[in-house]
Amino acid sequence: MLPGVIEPWHLVIILIIALVIFGPGKLGDVGGALGRGIKEFRTSMTIEEGKEKTSDEKAAEAAKKESSDKASEKVSDKVS
């Protein structure tokens, strides 16, 4: 394997150390808390993406309205 890349036996050693430090009971709690944290992070990221899309859509609508207002002003100037 390439140096610096985590190999499967590295993960086994890390899991054994985590089991010794936290114990079997706490290890499940730590894993659950980590999973909830990742889920909340993903949820907040999708909410932020939705807000960005909404603000982009609002900006596009404002630009479209502004251009249509200018066009209608030009038409009314020509008619007058």
pLDDT at 19: 87
What ranges do the domains of the chain cover? 25-80
pLDDT at 79: 53
**pLDDT tens track, the chain, 80 positions:** 566 787 888 989 998 998 888 888 888 888 899 999 999 999 988 887 777 666 667 677 777 777 766 656 655 555 55
pLDDT at 40: 93
Is 22 within 8 Å of 30 (Cβ atoms)? yes
Angstrom distances, CA of residue 33 to CA of 1, 12, 26: 33, 21, 10
**Rounded distance between C-alpha atoms, residue 32 and residue 26, angstroms:** 10
**Rounded distance between C-alpha atoms, residue 21 and residue 15, angstroms:** 10
